């Protein structure tokens, strides 16, 4: 999904500043993570549905809230959508309005088709220019770009399907090396490595 959450490769947000900080600043953050883990444990959530619930947050809300607030909004949205929680009940306990993520707009079947050709280490590949309305783990800044497969990992569940259907499709992931100059026009000699499910890929330019 092309949304504000996909900040990788975007300009204008300044450098990433590393810092050592506690995992939780407040007790509610610990509880938000705990509720999310429980929702996974009981099958009310999975990696695809959870991430997509955060992707659907309003852009202004996403950019002005903290990390665990994203977790809270995403999990609350999922539990309400699944019928395990009422928004009125949540707002009564919170003592006011609780913003939810926007509705799902993707339809089943919009997910990318499987790649028909085998992918091997050393292959030149191109990331499909795919702009789904639903969940995807394919970063926007590499779409349409050529790279080289440097590693193949064992098959794992495709999150694009997990988020929207009961289907589970196991696909290998390819670690693809992109030259920085090909991505941004600068950075000669530097490279970026991105793990991508093979259905995101097609044969690339030599």
Number of H helices, E strands in the chain: 7, 5
CA distance 45 to 178: 33
Q: Rounded to two decimals, what is the model's pTM?
A: 0.86
Per-position pLDDT tens, the chain of length 206: 677 777 776 777 777 777 777 788 899 999 999 999 999 999 889 999 999 999 999 999 999 999 999 999 999 999 999 899 999 999 999 899 999 999 999 887 777 777 777 899 999 999 999 888 899 999 999 999 999 999 999 999 999 998 888 888 899 999 999 999 999 888 888 999 999 999 999 999 87
Query: Counting beta carbons within 10 angstroms of the beta carbon of residue 6, is it exposed (0 to 12), middle (13 to 18) or buried (19 or more)?
Result: middle
Number of domains in the chain: 2
CATH number of the structural domain spanning residue 149: 2.30.30.50
Q: Which domain holds residue 65?
A: 1-104
Tell whether 99 and 128 lie within a shared domain.
Answer: no
């Amino acid at each position: 999904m092309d949304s504000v959450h996909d900040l990788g490769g975007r300009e204008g947000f300044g450098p990433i500043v590393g810092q050592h900080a506690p995992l939780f600043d407040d007790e509610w953050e610990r509880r938000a993570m705990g509720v999310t883990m429980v929702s996974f444990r009981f099958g009310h959530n999975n990696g695809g549905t959870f991430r997509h619930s955060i992707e659907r947050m309003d852009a202004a809300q996403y950019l002005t809230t903290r990390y665990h607030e994203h977790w809270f909004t995403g999990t609350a949205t999922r539990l309400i959508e699944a019928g395990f929680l009422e928004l009125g009940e949540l707002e009564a306990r919170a003592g006011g309005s609780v913003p939810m993520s926007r509705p799902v707009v993707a339809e089943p079947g919009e997910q990318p088709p499987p790649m028909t050709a085998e992918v091997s280490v050393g292959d030149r590949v191109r990331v499909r220019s795919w702009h789904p309305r639903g969940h995807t783990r394919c970063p926007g800044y590499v779409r349409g770009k050529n790279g080289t497969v440097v590693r193949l990992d064992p098959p794992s569940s495709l999150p694009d399907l997990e988020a929207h259907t009961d289907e589970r499709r196991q696909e290998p992931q390819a670690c693809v090396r992109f030259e920085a100059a090909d991505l941004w026009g600068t950075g000669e000699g530097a490279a970026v490595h991105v793990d991508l499910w093979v259905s995101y890929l097609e044969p690339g330019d030599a």
